[in-house]
Amino acid sequence: MAVTIRDIAKRLNLSHSTVSRIINNRDSSFISTETRARVRQTAEELGYRPNYHARSLQTGKACVLGLVLEKPEPNSEDRFWQSMLNGISTGARSRGYDLLIIGPAREQSEIERGLEYVTEHRVDALVIPGYLGSLDQLSSQSSDAPIVLAGNSASNARHPVVDLDAAPGIEAAVDHLAELGHRRLLWFDVEREGNGSVDYRRAAFRKAITRRALKGVEASMNLESRLNEERTVELSRRHFPEALARLPDATGVICYNEPTAFGVYAAAADRGLRVPRDLSVIGFDDIHAAVAAPSMTVVSHMLYAIGMKAAELAIALSETPATSVKKSKSVATAPIRELIPAELIVRQSTAAPQRTAGPIV
């Protein structure tokens, strides 16, 4: 027969509650280190395995974090989010939770199904990645549910959000180039309707070059809709010469994202320019940057950290006593908004400018 907590307690002449606290990782700080070690050693010797269903009945928790996804596996256009999904998985495991992937089924969207799982207590909390976009399905009825939006910059969110603060990374990128001796910098981005992060990153660039008293120019390529990585690289390669014409003697360029920076690599090669000798290039995201030639200096999107924090926050919300939640709701407060500061990762695509101050031709 299966070994139970009572068997362990009887073997050690301890109370059932003491052994249960230790086995289930509940607060046991008042129990001696020696006793905790004895309990765990005895459990291992007897071959104890926790009864999932009994524990769920006792605690009222499934110890499962739900993750809403459109598809079971991200495809080539979703690679951007893979690091964040890895972070969510790590965050769940670190708190002793399993991770359940929830996708669409029948006539239910993935978000509708995720909300159903929370309501039915099949998962204790829910993480929704920002790439799913629309928050319309998160109705006011779900506002009390332990749901966290990861990597979503929406200002109208009813639930806690964990997102990136790009400004520290962009400021670090400008400082890095200035310290290498660059004095003329170009900002190159993607202009697309509904992309609020572009304006925020531009403003961070503008503030940083002003503080450093550098010459800086902003340039964009217009996109009518979301494009895959390959198409973005192609358009960046085509449009970068026009952007560079706005500051022909630029020695460094900071790009809105990684595909745009890859396009700059290609456009520079088309003109016989070497990165970083003739032009230092900094990308943004850190998805494929490490395998570029030369390896790309980037502002990291901190996707892994965002995912891990989102998982930890969702689980913490699910473990908050209901009375505390109701009490906090009695005072109108904005949802929690956690911002992870972007960091600069320096690689081989930036160096001191070797070219003379004349324009690139």
Looking at per-residue pLDDT, the higher value among 78 and 346 belongs to 346
User: Quick one: pLDDT at residue 332?
Assistant: 47
Contact 11, 3 (CB under 8 A): no
Q: Identify whether the C-beta of residue 91 lies closer than 8 Å to the C-beta of residue 57.
A: no
3-state secondary structure of 173: helix
Q: In this model, does residue 95 exceed pLDDT 80? A: yes
pLDDT band at 225 (very low <50, low <70, confident <90, very high): low
pLDDT given for residue 325 in this prediction: 46
Q: Residue 31 — very low, low, confident or very high, per pLDDT cuts 50/70/90?
A: confident
**Which residue bears the tokens 């909300």?**
115
This prediction has a pTM of 0.80
- For the chain, how many helices (H) and strands (E)? 12, 12
Q: What are residue 301's phi and psi, to 5 degrees?
A: -80, -5
pLDDT tens for residues 143-201? 678 999 998 766 667 789 999 999 999 999 999 999 999 999 999 998 765 567 899 99
At 60 the pLDDT is 63
Q: Pick the closest to residue 168 from 126, 141, 217, 205 (CA basis).
A: 205
Q: Read off the pLDDT of residues 315-356 as tens digits, 9 standing for 90 and up.
A: 999 988 654 444 444 444 567 889 999 999 999 999 999 865
